[in-house]
Structure 1
Amino acid sequence: MPQFESYGLKGGVWRGRLTDPKGPPARVVLVQHGEVLAEARLSETGEAEWRVEVDLPAQALGDGIQTLLLKTDSGEGGTDSTAGGHVLDRLTLMAGRMLDDDMTAEILALRAELELVKRELRRLATRDTAG
């Protein structure tokens, strides 16, 4: 099974190292919502080891939270990812004004849950002291 070690994202390029004793995959692709956005470049660095570099295209960026998959693919090009590929890693990008709204909603939900927990703890505490 192929193993991927991510070196992170810098300058719009996601880099890492791929190892697979079976040899290189037919291709490594960047996928978002099942659509292939870009094909990675593989450079052999050793026995059963390759440097992987893939450029993040502009259409991958947008307001809110975006999840990109780096996966092996036996396809021969095109915009659809084959179902038989192996997901190597995930990259989550957060950006834009919608992110502020997403975070605010998440904080409000957490506050509501905390208030519920506090209320239940108070109820349990008063029940234990009354009995």
Structure 2
Amino acid sequence: MSRFENLGIRDGVWRGRLTAGAPPQRLVVTLNGRPVSEASVTAADKDWDIAAPLPAAAIQDGIQTFLLVETRQGADAEAISGQSLGQVSVIAGQPLDQDLVAEIATLRAELDLVKRELRRLADGQF
């Protein structure tokens, strides 16, 4: 079982530490179900240091929820599917009165990922 520890964002790079038995095949940062960048993986003791750039073009007014997804070999570049390891929400523009909006954005992103996986399994594309 993989566990991702979010270490935050600094200088536009989302950093974290992944505790897993083996290095991940490919880590992709997604926004609204689409890939926006690929994360780099560096060995650190028995864990893996993760560095994922968040492109400036992906940050707009409102809330953007980025997901760190471990993809399978040969995953389609347009529709990323796989195991979600972590998430980070970036709020830009006018201050929001409620944190509930951020939670809803996160739930929507995770639901989209689950729907894609269920459709893939239903189609028999393991």
**TM-score between the two structures when normalised by the length of structure 1:** 0.67
SS, match of residue 86 in structure 1: strand
Aligned mates of 2:87, 2:27 — CA distance in 1 = 13
Q: Please, which runs of 5 or more residues in structure 2 have no aligned partner?
A: 99-126
SS, match of residue 25 in structure 1: coil
State the shift of 1:75 in Å: 4.1
Partner in structure 2 of residue 53 of structure 1: 51
Flag the structure with larger Rg.
1
**TM-score between the two structures when normalised by the length of structure 2:** 0.70
State the shift of 1:80 in Å: 2.3
Specify the code of the residue in structure 2 equivalent to 1:58.
A
User: Where do 1:6-25 residues align within 5 Å?
Assistant: 6-21=6-21, 23-25=22-24
Question: Which one has the bigger helix percentage?
Answer: 1
Specify the code of the residue in structure 1 equivalent to 2:45.
G
Partner in structure 2 of residue 70 of structure 1: 68
Specify the code of the residue in structure 2 equivalent to 1:39.
E
The answer to whether the 8 Å contact 1:65/1:93 transfers is yes
Aligned mates of 1:59, 1:3 — CA distance in 2 = 29
Partner in structure 2 of residue 80 of structure 1: 79
What's the RMSD between the two structures over aligned residues? 1.6
Partner in structure 2 of residue 116 of structure 1: none
